[in-house]
Amino acid sequence: MRKSGPQQGLQAQANSRLATGWSPSPTFGLFFGLRHLSAVRTRFRIRAASLDNRRARRSESQCQTGQMLENNERRLMTAAESIVRSLPDNDTHTVASAAMDTKGNVHTGVNVFHFTGGPCAELVAIAAAAQAIAGPLVAIVAVGDRDRGVLAPCGRCRQVLLDLHPDVAVILPLPDGELTAEHISDLLPRSYSAPEPAFGS
């Protein structure tokens, strides 16, 4: 089908002007500058609307997660505390983690401290959930031995949680000692987003 309309006309004009060495006039530049500005504004509005939708979905997710935590956070805390208290006194396994999936099942793990960089308890709990084909996790907590209580996740665990379980809520202590549940994306504002799932041995 033959194309018609102002765009084809402009393209034909541009081609002939290129052939004759024509240079854009100020009016021509202003016209296309305005067209470009309009396109940028449109893209900005689309991006802003997309951001609003994502915020709304996150808010809804946080609300659902918050309601779930009200009923289940003590269950997670109890599971992690029970495990960490059962550990013999040593410097290798010092933290326990418990994570909950969308069905309410709890998956647990302990850290493996080693100078080569052993996994944190949260990562082991994530692996346990994966082994159980648990699907997405909705909440996770880590508890330290020797009465250290709930521990905030390290940066590596935050990145892993964000990439693998982007809707998870993390139970962590506030500076005043109170506990809170924060959406993982709020713990890593302006975070790096892995383009592909990370594969490793």
* Smaller CB separation from Zn ion, 120 or 169: 120
Tokens 């689309």 belong to residue: 46
Asked if residue 157 binds Zn ion (CB under 5 A), the reply is yes
Give me the half-sphere count of Cα atoms (radius 13 Å) on the Cβ side of residue 33.
7
CB 168 within 8 A of CB 186: no
Q: How many residues touch Zn ion (CB under 5 A)?
A: 3
CB of 174 to Zn ion, least distance (A): 19
Asked if residue 143 binds Zn ion (CB under 5 A), the reply is no
CB of 157 to Zn ion, least distance (A): 3
* Smaller CB separation from Zn ion, 98 or 120: 120
Asked if residue 120 binds Zn ion (CB under 5 A), the reply is yes
Neighbour count for residue 58 (Cβ, 10 Å)? 16
Q: Which of 32, 24, 27 is nearest to 6 (CA)?
A: 32
Q: Which stretch binds Zn ion (CB under 5 A): 21-29, 53-61, 119-127, 180-188?
A: 119-127
* Smaller CB separation from Zn ion, 69 or 160: 160
Type of residue found at 177: G
Catalytic residue, chosen from 81, 122, 182, 196, is 122
CB 142 within 8 A of CB 120: yes
How long a stretch of residues is the chain?
A: 201
- Note if 81 is an active site residue: no
User: What are the two backbone dihedrals, phi and then psi, of residue 190, each rounded to the nearest 5 degrees?
Assistant: 55, 45
Asked if residue 154 binds Zn ion (CB under 5 A), the reply is yes
Asked if residue 69 binds Zn ion (CB under 5 A), the reply is no
Type of residue found at 22: W
CB of 15 to Zn ion, least distance (A): 60
CB of 58 to Zn ion, least distance (A): 23
Tokens 């067209």 belong to residue: 35
User: What are the two backbone dihedrals, phi and then psi, of residue 16, each rounded to the nearest 5 degrees?
Assistant: -70, -35
* Smaller CB separation from Zn ion, 28 or 182: 182
> Would you please indicate which residues are annotated as catalytic (active-site) residues?
122
Q: Which residues bind Zn ion (CB under 5 A)?
A: 120, 154, 157
